[in-house]
Copies of this chain bind each other. A is one copy, B any other.
């Protein structure tokens, strides 16, 4: 299923996409801080609107922090969350615009022109933080780890627990580690091209 239009070699295509799988179990092997730093140093270059970079990440490693996260996951996600050596809680900073003059120096007024109004700001923060979460998931794979993304958790409680103060919204929790035994389901079907794309 490789393609000569794709410029990535087969090994990379498999690592990031074709053979990468959502892991539901993990080994106990720890994930090093330097692996996550390397991941970020790669994926931080991917684009966001006005270079706004609203994603914020709480890394959950300690038993104490895990004991606060696990009960805030839906029942079906508690076991795998507890079993992963690292969990990342990925959130949007809804006040990202405060940094914007630094992040988008070509038009520092963007902070006030486009994002003074809360509704537009929140919508943009959610869109761009979620794009960054997509980049992050592929980044986990790029450093040779398995990702287990989960949207099933009590978002308001997770936001308050790990990003207190009300300016962040937790969007996804990702389990990270080396896959354990029986780590995944059978591969599930993907929509055919013609069901996704229309030409105009």
CB neighbours of A188 from chain B (8 A)? 51, 103-106
**Is A35 among interface residues, defined by CB-CB distance under 8 A?**
yes
The reply to whether A102 and B18 form a contact with Cβ atoms under 8 Å apart is no
The reply to whether A7 and B196 form a contact with Cβ atoms under 8 Å apart is no
The reply to whether A42 and B57 form a contact with Cβ atoms under 8 Å apart is no
Taking a contact as CB atoms closer than 8 A, the residue among B103, B127, B134, B152 that contacts A135 in the complex is B134
Which A residues between 1 and 36 are near B, CB-CB below 8 angstroms? Answer: 1, 3, 5-9, 12-13, 15-18, 20, 22, 32-36
The reply to whether B7 and A142 form a contact with Cβ atoms under 8 Å apart is yes
CB neighbours of A196 from chain B (8 A)? 40, 44, 53, 55-57
Q: Whole-angstrom distance between the alpha carbons of A130 and B132 in the complex?
A: 9
Task: Tell me how far the C-beta of A129 lies from the nearest C-beta in chain B, rounded to whole angstroms.
Answer: 9
CB neighbours of A116 from chain B (8 A)? none
The reply to whether B62 and A200 form a contact with Cβ atoms under 8 Å apart is yes
With A5-B34, A62-B200, A134-B135 already in contact, 18 other A-B pairs whose C-beta atoms are closer than 8 Å: A5-B32, A5-B35, A5-B143, A5-B144, A7-B15, A7-B143, A7-B144, A33-B199, A47-B149, A53-B196, A57-B196, A61-B200, A104-B188, A106-B185, A106-B188, A124-B151, A130-B130, A138-B138
